[in-house]
Amino acid sequence: MTINFEIPENIQQAAQMVRYIAETTMRPYSRELDENEHARPTAFTEAMWPILSGQQQASLTKIEKQLEAQKNGDVAVKSDTKTRPSNHYLSMMYMVEILSWGDAGIYLCLPNSALGGFAVEAVGTPEQKLRLLRRFAEGEPSWGAMAMTEPNAGSDTSAIQTTAVFDEATNEWVLNGEKIFCTSGGLALDESDGLVIVWATVDRDAGRAGMKPFVVEAGTPGATVVKAEKKHGIRASDTVSIAFNDARIPADNVLGSPEVHTDKGTKGFKGAMATFDASRPLVASGALGIGRAAVEFVKEKFDEAGIEIPYGAPYHKLTAVQRDFMEMEAQLKAAYLLTLRSIVMLDEGTSNPLEASMAKVKAGKAITWVTQKAVELLGMMGYSREHLAEKWMRDAKINDIYEGTGQINTLIVARRLLGYTRNELA
Amino acid sequence: MVSFTPTEDQQLLVDTIRRYADKNIRPAAHDVDEAEAPDMDVIQAGWQLGLIPSALPEELGGFGDMSAISGAMIAEELAFGDLSVAMHLLAPSLLAYPVTLFGTAAQRESLLPAFLEEEFTAATAAFLEPGMMFDPRAMQTTATPSGDGVKLNGVKACVPLADESRALLVYARNAESGDIEAYIVPDDTPGLLIQEREKLMGLRALPTFRVKFEDAQVPVSAKLGGAVGIDIQTILNRQNVALGALAVGVARAAFEYAREYAKERVQFGKAIAQNQSIAFMLAEMAIEVDATRLMVWESAWMLDQGQDATREAYLARQYADKMVLTVTDSGVQTLGGYGFIREYPAERWLRNGRGFPTFDGLAIL
């Protein structure tokens, strides 16, 4: 191996295509969708659906072939994860960065299995994958979602109160409780034949060990979208509350083992946490896209105003505005490189929870600051809703909050650095 | 393919220097700082690692690996040991590397073999100037064409090892063209006046000097690069990356020490690291050290690829200058009262860390 920062040609080419989609189906609608909060980005979803459903189809075909091969006793066929291209996550990082550059709220409306798919891919059986993910491969656009947060369980996910009780008479799980802040939950349950992965406890006394992911499909009686949030930023993204009142789902809609292994600790919970190793760097990637949009816009306005950025000039010769702009660039670069490192580790198959949280901490904080600074530097051009800078600032802030707040991720970094358990560093 | 894994050779190099830093540099770092004098056994042991020869051209007996990434790794590990020692050991490169990069065949052949010798061979460059508002592209030191050569006039500051170097690389502004040029000035040149040793906030084990030039005449053959001269931007870029790497080394030392201290120091019945206020400070330190290293590596990689690294190297240096101050300050803060006591290393790292924005010309790769 050798240290190398060269982004592979094929990713650069794909990035050009994604940029075109961002320029034509996202940017032109950014303001309109921000002002009309619960309208849908149809130009974007219609452009993306054929691509994403095609990818899902290919992935399902692979699973079918494996099942077939297993039936025939052919063990030579490699598993899905092993045939995955070695720059899978790097491609995703670039795609997410550019789509967020286009519009971070619209990006979150990608018609695919999303975080729900992450969970199914991570712990589902091949049969479950084929049955549950088919809807993301054909027909009309469908959305997947994940519901973890509850009114009294935010960062402390172990405090969830939603219950799942098995009804042997009907061979069904019965869900009761309320989930909030569920991204694309309305799109998944009300506006498509989608699904939501709902985290519920089968045994409140068992703590984390009792937490299991359940698949709630669109049309499930008793699973109702009760509220669409009005937000500071990413207004184009669909954020809902879902109430579960005796919502009945098939027995086979639990992911992983339904048994509570208190002796083994927190396997299901750990399964949820492991998805953060991938999702946190990808959230950081999204933050980078917003940051780049802001930096580019400021640069464009500086160019028009004849303000130069003299790289190499002594620090004491720089104006305050030049210093601010360079600091924006440097912060963005620092966040980018930490994210890139955590992504490359995913592609290499190296354990990365420390690096993933580092990237998330840095990107969340840096891009929040970068976009706030952009509004300041641009004066009324920054503050006015005539331009997008103020929107990017509002969109950026969520990156320091979701997928683990900056503080939760800092806590994870600290525990890992110090070799402390959650009890030693609470 | 993007990768952050060093080559096997680089890893071997890093491991070797880390052992040297742990075994030789660190145990002596406190005493040499107090004594304001280098420990020449430590310097000689470091010289034996052959760090400078590895970058020198093969045809002259070196190993021809003028890799900026390798250079950045070397600088970080040495500075992790101690910044004074790092700058002492690397002072000869202030002459050797620009000569390797820009020297004429005659200059390379006459100057570079000295750095392949067994004994530490001092050499240096005079770059910085005294006072505020130093601007490398508008230096006050001038080279005025005169007869068959130039006359140098001006004052340079913070010139390491000036008293023992056989030759100095002197950067000056051509009084006629305004270009920044570099001249190889032998130590016995009339008009070259080595002034008293400087007393600095940090770098106390590194002898640095004011150097005056009063009509110091050097022949035209002393101009580095001959008629072509040097590309000052390349020099500045390679300085910025080197200083960034040294800053990462100093900051990492401060972070690691603070982390271990915080785990051992018990107050209110538990390790102070078990308080979020301390733990979060440590986490921030680690994140910033890592981010800066990646910025340094990226700009070093660009240099090695032959790309224009001006922007990246400059941003990395600025970032590193700020980072090393914050991290070394947090190091002192973590130790509380002990952070303020010179028996402990934290305050030394803060004194050394504070200097980075000022250290122009004190390192190159």
| CATH number of the domain enclosing A287 | 1.20.140.10
Catalytic residues of A, which ones?
403
One domain, residues B138 and B156: yes
One domain, residues B262 and B301: yes
Beta bridge partners of B170: B126, B183
A207: pLDDT confidence band, cut at 50, 70 and 90?
Answer: confident
Domain boundary among A136, A159, A174: A136
Amino acid letter for position A273:
M
Q: Is A299 on the interface with B (CB under 8 A)?
A: no
CATH value at residue B283: 1.20.140.10
One domain, residues B182 and B240: no
Q: Pairing relation of β-strands A172-183 and A163-167?
A: antiparallel
One domain, residues A37 and A118: yes
**Predicted local confidence at residue A76, as pLDDT:** 57
**Predicted local confidence at residue A275, as pLDDT:** 75
**Predicted local confidence at residue A273, as pLDDT:** 64
**Is 90 exceeded by the pLDDT of residue B291?**
yes
Q: Are A251 and A156 in contact (CB under 8 A)?
A: no
CATH value at residue A189: 2.40.110.10
The whole-angstrom distance between A371's CA and the closest CA on chain B is 18
| Structural domain includes residue B55 | yes
Domain boundary among B116, B137, B165: B116
CB atoms within 10 A of CB A302: 17
One domain, residues A366 and A401: yes
In sequence order, which ranges of chain B are alpha helices (DSSP H)? 8-20, 26-35, 40-47, 68-81, 83-90, 93-102, 105-111, 232-264, 276-304, 310-335, 346-354
Q: Between B1 and B234, name the one with better pLDDT.
A: B234
A86: pLDDT confidence band, cut at 50, 70 and 90?
Answer: confident
Domain that holds residue A118: 9-136
Domain boundary among A226, A253, A280: A253
Domain boundary among B176, B204, B222: B222
**Predicted local confidence at residue A272, as pLDDT:** 60
Residue A158: partners with Cβ closer than 8 Å, 6 or more residues away: A207, A208, A211, A269
Using the beta-carbon criterion (under 8 Å), do B259 and A417 form an inter-chain contact? yes
Using the beta-carbon criterion (under 8 Å), do B4 and A3 form an inter-chain contact? yes
Domain boundary among B116, B145, B174: B116
One domain, residues A391 and A307: yes
One domain, residues A103 and A176: no
A75: pLDDT confidence band, cut at 50, 70 and 90?
Answer: low
Window from A129-138, A254-263, B25-34 with minimum mean pLDDT: A254-263
One domain, residues A285 and A398: yes
The whole-angstrom distance between A294's CA and the closest CA on chain B is 18
The whole-angstrom distance between B281's CA and the closest CA on chain A is 9
* Partner-chain residue, chosen from B2, B283, B319, that has the shortest CB–CB distance to A413: B283
Q: Are B351 and B33 in contact (CB under 8 A)?
A: no
| Structural domain includes residue A259 | no
Q: Are A95 and A14 in contact (CB under 8 A)?
A: yes
| Structural domain includes residue A423 | no
ipTM value: 0.96
One domain, residues A23 and A120: yes
| Structural domain includes residue B365 | no
Per residue in A375-423, pLDDT (tens digit) is 999 999 999 999 999 999 999 999 999 999 999 999 999 999 999 999 9
Q: Which residue has the tokens 């600025």?
A: B318
One domain, residues A326 and A407: yes
Half-sphere exposure of A347 (CA within 13 A, CB side): 21
**Predicted local confidence at residue A372, as pLDDT:** 98
One domain, residues B66 and B24: yes
Using the beta-carbon criterion (under 8 Å), do B3 and A2 form an inter-chain contact? yes
Using the beta-carbon criterion (under 8 Å), do A362 and B135 form an inter-chain contact? no
Maximum Cα–Cα distance across chain B: 77
Q: Is A330 on the interface with B (CB under 8 A)?
A: yes
* Rounded-to-integer distance, Cα A68 and Cα A129, Å: 15
One domain, residues A196 and A152: yes
Window from A5-14, A67-76, B51-60, B262-271 with minimum mean pLDDT: A67-76
Window from A101-115, A250-264, B349-363 with minimum mean pLDDT: A250-264
* Rounded-to-integer distance, Cα B222 and Cα B172, Å: 13
Domain boundary among A90, A116, A136: A136
Q: Is A3 on the interface with B (CB under 8 A)?
A: yes
One domain, residues B321 and B252: yes
Number of domains comprising chain B: 3
Stretch A194-218: mean pLDDT: 94
* Rounded-to-integer distance, Cα A196 and Cα B217, Å: 81
One domain, residues A273 and A357: yes
**Predicted local confidence at residue A70, as pLDDT:** 87
Per residue in B322-345, pLDDT (tens digit) is 999 999 999 999 999 999 999 999
Number of domains comprising chain A: 3
Beta bridge partners of B169: B125, B184
Residue of B287, B292, B304, B327 to mutate when probing chain A, most A C-beta within 10 A: B287
CB contacts < 8 A, A to B, total: 137
Per residue in A216-227, pLDDT (tens digit) is 999 999 999 999
* Rounded-to-integer distance, Cα A14 and Cα A8, Å: 10
Residue A245: partners with Cβ closer than 8 Å, 6 or more residues away: A176, A222, A224
| Structural domain includes residue B227 | no
CATH value at residue B214: 2.40.110.10
Task: Please provide residue A36's backbone torsions phi and psi, each rounded to the nearest 5 degrees.
Answer: -110, 80
Domain that holds residue B215: 124-222
Chain B residue numbers with beta carbons less than 8 Å from the beta carbon of A4 are: 1-3, 301
One domain, residues A207 and A114: no
CATH value at residue A132: 1.10.540.10
Using the beta-carbon criterion (under 8 Å), do A341 and B4 form an inter-chain contact? yes
One domain, residues B82 and B141: no
One domain, residues B66 and B145: no
